[in-house]
Structures are given as structure tokens and as C-alpha cells.
């Protein structure tokens, strides 16, 4: 099904909850353009832009980058995109949510509610193709050839912020800075929560919800 009318959605959830995995399934199934704040920041680090160099230590330490920096980056990319889109990893603070609200009206917030214990186990076995943001997992969705991206054959890497200590800091940042955003959207009546420990069990519910929403 390809989206016919303007539709803007955000995928939220703690680090490692499956935002990237679910976003790529939504993109494939519904043809929505996907923008991930983390992929965008990592692309800046990879190509050594001034912004990437400045933000690197924040990201490697598991802290959020400043609101004004990320809001400017995302809003300027959204202006270049199609009118319908799917955001992943932004907004992550109430101030970012207000900045997004000032520019666009969002139809729905899909929140992936996955227990922290499940997340810690996943992230240490994640492998990423940095140029595309495609993610693999040695247990859950291994690449066809170990260490190589299925599409390009290029090498996969482990993210610098996927060490157990940094994951703990990222989860803490999520609790203190991002959980209040859920309340913000709940009060606007657009928050939908999908709970579970396995993406393959959560996904059919997300798919059914979006099919209903878009039909």
C-alpha cells in the first residue's frame, strides 16, 4: 500500500527498541520516506563535518546532542523531503517536540515499549551498515554473509555507543529526557503504544494500525 494523502508519523522508543527495524518495515510496506536523527548524526561524524566532529563526544558518551542543533538539522532535512514522512529518533525532548509542532502537524506517534533488560542484550550483538543505517543482529536478523551488508556487500561495524556502559547512560537519558515527550503527545491524543519483547510480534500490530489509519 502506498500512502495517497499527506501522512506524518514519528517512531519513538528507548534505544534499541527496534525503531530502525520497524521504520524500515514501514518504509517498505507503506512507501513513507524515513529520516533517522541518529543516522543523520552518524553520517556527519563519518564524513567529518564540523557538526559531526562537535557532536561526536556527546553521542559516544550516550548523551543527547543539544536541542537547537538537532532541531535545526532535522527541520532543514524535512523541508527537502516529500510531504509525507516517518521520523525515527526525533523528537527526544519536549523542546524538540515543540520545535516540530511549530513547523508541522504530526498525525501519529508510534511508541515501541520494550523492557530495558531485553534492550541491553540486543545492542551488544548489533551490527550496522553506516552509509544506509541498515541494522543486523547476530541472533535476530544476521546478514547473509557475516560482517557484510546484504545490499552493498560493504563491511558492517559495531557502533561506538553500543558498549554496556554507554547503553546504560543512553537508557538513563531516555528516562529523564524522552519519557516526558510521551506525556506531551498523550495529552494531544496522538500517542499509540505497542508493547512487547520481539519486533516480529509487535510489527503485525503496527502494520494493522497503519493500514487502518491510511485506508
Catalytic residues: 19, 92, 126, 159, 170
Which of 9, 45, 92, 110 touches ligand G5P by CB under 6 A?
92
Closest listed residue to residue 38, CA positions, set 8, 6, 13, 5? 13
Alpha helices in the chain (DSSP H): 19-30, 37-46, 50-60, 67-80, 94-103, 116-123, 164-173, 179-188, 199-214
| Residue 89 interacts with ligand G5P (CB under 6 A): yes or no | yes
From the centroid of its chain, how far is CA 137? 16
Which of 122, 156, 185, 210 touches ligand G5P by CB under 6 A?
122
103-121 burial, b at 16+ Cβ within 10 Å, e below that, comes to eeebebbbbbebeeeebee
Which of 20, 62, 91, 143 touches Mg ion by CB under 5 A?
20
Q: Which stretch binds ligand G5P (CB under 6 A): 44-52, 75-83, 102-110, 196-204?
A: 196-204
Residues 151-180 touching ligand G5P, rule: CB under 6 A, are 161, 170
Q: 34 or 210, CB closer to ligand G5P?
A: 34
- Choose from ligand G5P, Mg ion, none: what does 90 bind? Cβ within 5-8 Å by kind: ligand G5P
Phi, psi at 197, each rounded to 5°: -115, -5
Judged by the rule CB under 5 A, the positions of this chain that interact with Mg ion are 19-20
Amino acid at each position: 500500500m502506498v500512502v495517497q494523502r499527506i501522512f506524518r508519523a514519528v517512531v519513538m522508543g528507548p534505544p534499541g527498541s527496534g525503531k530502525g527495524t520497524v521504520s524500515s518495515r514501514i518504509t517498505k510496506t507503506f512507501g513513507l520516506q524515513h529520516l533517522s536523527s541518529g543516522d543523520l548524526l552518524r553520517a556527519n561524524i563519518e564524513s567529518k563535518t564540523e557538526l559531526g566532529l562537535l557532536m561526536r563526544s556527546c553521542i559516544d558518551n550516550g548523551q543527547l546532542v543539544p536541542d537547537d542543533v538537532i532541531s535545526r538539522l532535522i527541520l532543514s532535512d524535512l523541508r527537502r523531503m516529500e510531504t509525507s514522512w516517518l521520523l525515527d529518533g526525533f523528537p527526544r525532548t519536549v523542546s524538540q517536540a515543540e520545535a516540530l509542532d511549530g513547523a508541522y502537524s504530526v498525525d501519529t506517534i508510534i511508541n515501541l515499549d520494550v523492557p530495558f533488560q531485553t534492550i541491553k542484550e540486543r545492542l551488544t550483538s548489533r551490527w550496522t551498515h553506516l552509509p544506509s543505517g541498515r541494522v543486523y543482529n547476530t541472533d535476530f536478523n544476521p546478514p547473509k554473509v557475516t560482517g557484510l551488508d546484504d545490499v552493498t556487500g560493504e563491511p558492517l561495524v559495531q557502533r561506538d555507543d553500543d558498549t554496556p556502559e554507554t547503553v546504560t547512560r543512553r537508557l538513563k537519558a531516555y528516562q529523564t529526557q524522552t519519557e516526558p515527550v510521551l506525556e506531551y503527545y498523550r495529552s494531544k491524543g496522538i500517542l499509540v503504544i505497542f508493547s512487547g519483547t520481539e519486533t516480529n510480534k509487535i510489527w503485525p500490530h503496527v502494520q494493522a494500525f497503519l493500514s487502518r489509519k491510511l485506508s
